[in-house]
Amino acid sequence: DRARLARAGIGPMSTPDALALFDAAVVSGAPAVVAAHLDPAALRTAASEGHLSPLLSGLIRAQPRRVGAGSGLGERLQGRHPDEQRRVTTREVRRQVAAVLGRDDAGSVPVDRAFSELGFDSLMSVDLRNRLTAAVGRPLPASLVFDQPTVRELARYVLTELTDGTDPATTSGTPAGAAVLDEPLAIVGMACRFPGGVEGPDDLWRLVADGRDAISGFPVNRGWDLEALFHPDPDHAGTSYAREGGFLHRAADFDAEFFGISPREALAMDPQQRVLLETAWEALEHGRIDPDTLRGSRTGVFTGVMYNDYAARLRPAPPEVEGLLAAGNTGSVISGRLAYALGFEGPAVSVDTACSSSLVALHLAGQALRLG
């Protein structure tokens, strides 16, 4: 953080200097005062490289950079094969990301890890946006890093900007808004979790075909006090008079790192969200579709949701999950979380119509396909 601030022209202050500036600010009479140690040379360097904060741009005299066509990166891409354009753009994006992270080796920046996993915060995201704006030669949105959360996706976006909205890496599919009213719809991939150790459609079929019993004892990996949980009187409050039920015994076996989720956030997530992420990925693979090939596409997500009682049982909330429970336990978030994790850019809709939620979600998905 100190190195990044130093590159932006803001240096550390000694305690006496900081206290003296504080005293001066108190008696200044100005309504808004910033106490900071500014390095004019670093400010000029940042301005010349095109990533000086607009808040500080009025403090120095520097040759303004021209924003428009003919940027350095754009010129380097002209006349190159699309594959080479992608390589050059990815290399430039990695170089800028390394600079923001304070790394000397751009090759150490992974192309498929989320920026949040690399340690990016909001200031670093804006810094990267400013650097790429200078490299591209045209304004880029403030939400750039959030909307394109990996180097690969960001490079694809930058290349599209430099090729006038056409990504040479992709081919056009059905035009937006085109209606395909008479095309039959097909389910090409499925995934599921059910009691009885069912981890997929084949397991479910075998369970039915073999007539096996899916009911089992209570899970032993939940931290439940199983002795206190049972009471033979069904009217006894706060206990269960059953010793068995239908359970997903492996619901806690979630690979959070695979989906770019921290262990704390995974713990705060309703298990339904974890299972949905897993089964959505498996459904694509079951249909012989590489999930990464759909990133940036107009693929839609329609989820049927109903119960949201996971966090309701955490009273008070453990300190380690504070601030993470809202997103992890809100039905409306589920479809967006899935779309964001897989890079889908079509509609993302959560449907809660009680017992018919999944049926309505499937209907809406079918309607979306028929409408193009």
One-letter amino acid for residue 310 of the chain: Y
Per-residue pLDDT reduced to its tens digit, 203-222: 999 999 999 999 999 998 88
The pLDDT, as a whole number, for residue 91 is 92
Q: In 10 A of CB 104, how many CB atoms?
A: 7
Burial 183-214 (b: 16+ CB within 10 A, else e): eeeeeeeebebeebebbbeeebeebeeeeeee
Q: Can you give the pTM of this predicted structure? A: 0.64
CB 368 within 8 A of CB 317: no
CB burial of residue 358 (10 Å; 0-12, 13-18, 19+): middle
In this structure, which long-range contacts are made by residues 254-259, counting pairs with CB atoms below 8 Å and at least 24 apart in sequence?
254/278, 259/341
Per-residue pLDDT reduced to its tens digit, 55-86: 787 888 765 554 444 457 888 888 888 888 99
d(CA 171, CA 327): 35
The pLDDT, as a whole number, for residue 178 is 53
- Crossing angle of helices 271-286 and 331-342, in 10° steps, is 40
